[in-house]
Structure 1
Amino acid sequence: MPTSPMPRVLRATSLVAVAGLVITGCSQNKVDSAPPGAAKVAIELTDDGCRPTPAEVPAGPVTFEVKNNNASKVSEAELMNNDVILGEKENLSPGLSGTFSLRLNAGKYTVYCPNAATQKTDFTVTGAAAQASQDPAVKTALDQAVTGYQQYVIAEVDKLVPATKQFTDAIRAGDVERAKQGYAPARYYYEEVEPVAESFGDLDPAIDQRADDVTDQSKWTGFHRLEKALWEEKSVDGMAPVADQLDADVAKLKTLVATAAYQPAQLANGATELLNEVANRKITGEEDRYSHADLSDFDANITGSKKAFDLLRPALSKLDPDLAESVAGKYADVLAALQPYKRDNGYVDYSTVGDEQRKALTQKVDALAEPLSQVSGKVNA
């Protein structure tokens, strides 16, 4: 998500019927979200690879239209600058499509499709970008949004560091119950800013990878390895090194976000990706499969997504007031739908939430996904 960093692919594995409803809405943009004058690049996901068409565009606003026709091994495309992910569309199962927008300077980039036979393809941007043709008031509002988001990410990661240490201290002390109590509160700060964390190469997998995505279980680290120890294995014996590594990775994240820069479209892309996090992993119960703390993560994803949108809203209200109003109202609907599940300072165990209730949450997320997907194009002109 930063201009000098952005996400990694992860898959839903349960409640397929419910998940399918959400993935259709969140991953598939239903309107042309490209800003006027933006270059359009088509990327078709195939198991062989995913070549961009065209492979060269002029500098300026670019909208990437990603579609999976029938790839079974590939479900995402990322645009990378060296090792930094600038933008992506992920969780596209066969038949689904989606877009993301960026303003690109001249240079060499890479389109990366994990798990394809040819995973990386060159992409070139040429010439000098014309000045954005925005109303000065819009430009000022967008500049303020970017500055505000930088401050927000730094502040949330500053909270993440001590909250994680409280959690890992309990792990090192062998205090299972205290560690369980600290798990969801620590993760909350991470889940708010996950698209930024995902941008820094392998840092997000180190912090947040699930068992399905690890080929060598002896090298599995992060929150979910500790979650399994606490709730399934009911012992943290031997987990001190994992706790130490989590502290180190969170500290690294703090260092990286201190100098990260963003562009307005990345705020909007990140808001959409956080919504996709809810759709593809929280609704299904796949994310926190041992602790069933999914609703806390759900809340954090929506909160982080809404923060990015709220910062963009003053500019978006000038560019498209109807869209700004629609998105704001649908965020309120999603947050209201979560209220019945709140208990004290947390949420009910997600395993107690039935399929019909999950479906109702799905519908609220789906209703937000479509208009939200249009925002990056609006602010990228």
Structure 2
Amino acid sequence: MPEALSKTFTAAGLLAALVVSGCSSGSSTGSSTEAGADGPITVDAGDTNCDVSTTQIAAGQHTFSVTNSAGQVTEVYVYADGDRIMGEVENIGPALKRELIVDLPAGTYQVACKPGMVGNGNRTALTVTGATPSAATLDENLSNAVDDYKKYVNSEAAALVDTTKTFTDAIDAGDMDKVKAAYPAARLHYERIEPIAESFGDLDPLIDMRIDDATDGTTFTGFHALEQLIYEKDTLKGTSDLAQQLDTNVEKLQTVIKDVDFTPLVMGNGAKSLLDEVAKSKVTGEEERYSRIDLVDFAGNVDGARYVYTALRPALQEKDPALVKTLDERFPALVDLLETHRAKEGEAGYVTGSPYVSYDDLSKDDVKALAIEVDAISEPLGQISGVVSGK
């Protein structure tokens, strides 16, 4: 068992230990009934199945009601061609239910259930037909929120390109100290926009894949391949080509992000996805397993989610002031707790380039406290999509 997993705790079912298991990539058989009735599309996410109540639906906004019938924590994705993520819901404990609201234009999709939150998952084909209903005109608050968030994402994408270049330039110069000083900054900017980056299923793995995703036909590449060489193997040998590829791919990401159709629903789903990512791999110490800068990634995910909430807050205040009151309390509590783990150079637990202590410096109680705060904000944050979509 990796050392990181020895510090993993369960907080109200959110943080089940990750179980590494093989997942079928074959489609399961669901109903072929044309969707026409109101109500959610049900998804039974089992250990070997992903049964969807209907596999033909009309274009538009749909709610997927997911029940985890598997014996382990699961996640469910709706993929377009090329495994582009249209929507996702993660960290669903056994016997629990979660909802996913997603806009789907006409086309072919796959619903993927991933027991253990690994692999390609059990998949069911989904066909969407007809013209997409005209989008409702956004009120001023929602329109301003979308504009603000689009600027934020594009700004972070530009910063990701710049900080990654600083990192790779240091690699090319053979300066290990500068390499380690530059790595955390690049990771921070990626983590702030992770759900948007992940929506590009063919590009994101080239940037952020972990060694678990590498197979005989898939080369380990991206940030974490470099991280392993630099921090675990303490070498810059073999990093030059990887660094060049990383520069190319983050530049491609910056380009394609400019064409993303941002909506309040995309924003709400993204904010929830960011906190799911914290629970899935940051608070468990699985993301930065060589550098141990997991709290930098944690902070980046929280920053991104908080920006979404701040942008949407005026609209949420009109529609659900009770939700705003809750999130106004929960975000500062989470941020304040994270701030207690800051470290400066020369202090115990300091990692070069990181404002936070090494994950290995956290006690079991520290990890448990962080997990509890993530759990406390996860459920109310998940309500944002329903509120802004009118569901």
TM superposition score normalised by structure 2: 0.83
1:184 aligns with 2:174: no
Change (3 A) 1:86 1:13: farther
Q: Judge conservation of contact 2:80–2:110 (CA < 8 Å) in 1.
A: yes
Q: Judge conservation of contact 2:227–2:291 (CA < 8 Å) in 1.
A: yes
1:235 aligns with 2:235: yes
* 1:15 corresponding residue in structure 2: 5
Please give the alpha-carbon distance, in whole angstroms, between the structure 2 residues aligned to 1:116 and 1:186.
28
Deviation at 1:16, TM superposition (A): 6.2
Q: How does 1:1-381 map to 2 (within 5 A)?
A: 14-15=4-5, 18-21=8-11, 24=14, 39-70=39-70, 75-83=74-82, 84-92=84-92, 94-113=94-113, 115=119, 119-126=123-130, 129=133, 132=136, 139-216=139-216, 219-344=219-344, 346-381=355-390
Letter of the 1:81 counterpart: A
Deviation at 1:339, TM superposition (A): 1.2
Partner of 1:159, secondary structure, is: helix
Please give the alpha-carbon distance, in whole angstroms, between the structure 2 residues aligned to 1:274 and 1:255.
22
Please give the alpha-carbon distance, in whole angstroms, between the structure 2 residues aligned to 1:285 and 1:117.
23
Deviation at 1:186, TM superposition (A): 0.8
Please give the alpha-carbon distance, in whole angstroms, between the structure 2 residues aligned to 1:61 and 1:224.
36
Question: Percent same amino acid among aligned pairs?
Answer: 37
Comparing 298-307 with 108-117, which one deviates more in the overlay?
108-117
Deviation at 1:87, TM superposition (A): 0.5
Deviation at 1:274, TM superposition (A): 0.5
Please give the alpha-carbon distance, in whole angstroms, between the structure 2 residues aligned to 1:207 and 1:185.
15
Q: Judge conservation of contact 1:24–1:96 (CA < 8 Å) in 2.
A: no
Change (3 A) 1:347 1:220: same
Please give the alpha-carbon distance, in whole angstroms, between the structure 2 residues aligned to 1:90 and 1:113.
10
* 2:19 corresponding residue in structure 1: none
Please give the alpha-carbon distance, in whole angstroms, between the structure 2 residues aligned to 1:368 and 1:198.
22
Deviation at 1:122, TM superposition (A): 1.8
Deviation at 1:289, TM superposition (A): 1.2
Q: Judge conservation of contact 1:58–1:129 (CA < 8 Å) in 2.
A: no
Comparing 118-127 with 173-182, which one deviates more in the overlay?
118-127
Deviation at 1:100, TM superposition (A): 1.6
Please give the alpha-carbon distance, in whole angstroms, between the structure 2 residues aligned to 1:54 and 1:13.
43
Letter of the 2:386 counterpart: G
Q: Please list the CA deviations of residues 56-86 of structure 1 after superposition, one character each: whole Å capped at 9, or x if unmatched.
A: 44444321122221266x9332223333321
Partner of 1:342, secondary structure, is: coil
* 1:32 corresponding residue in structure 2: none
Deviation at 1:314, TM superposition (A): 1.0
Comparing 50-59 with 158-167, which one deviates more in the overlay?
50-59
Change (3 A) 1:62 1:25: farther
Partner of 2:329, secondary structure, is: helix
Please give the alpha-carbon distance, in whole angstroms, between the structure 2 residues aligned to 1:169 and 1:17.
35
Deviation at 1:173, TM superposition (A): 2.2
Q: Judge conservation of contact 1:104–1:125 (CA < 8 Å) in 2.
A: no
Change (3 A) 1:13 1:199: farther
Deviation at 1:262, TM superposition (A): 1.7
Q: Judge conservation of contact 1:88–1:100 (CA < 8 Å) in 2.
A: yes
Change (3 A) 1:19 1:66: farther
Aligned residues: 355
Please give the alpha-carbon distance, in whole angstroms, between the structure 2 residues aligned to 1:353 and 1:259.
40
* 2:350 corresponding residue in structure 1: none
Please give the alpha-carbon distance, in whole angstroms, between the structure 1 residues aligned to 2:98 and 2:278.
16
Deviation at 1:218, TM superposition (A): 7.6
Comparing 371-380 with 141-150, which one deviates more in the overlay?
141-150
Q: Judge conservation of contact 1:40–1:62 (CA < 8 Å) in 2.
A: yes
Change (3 A) 1:121 1:332: same
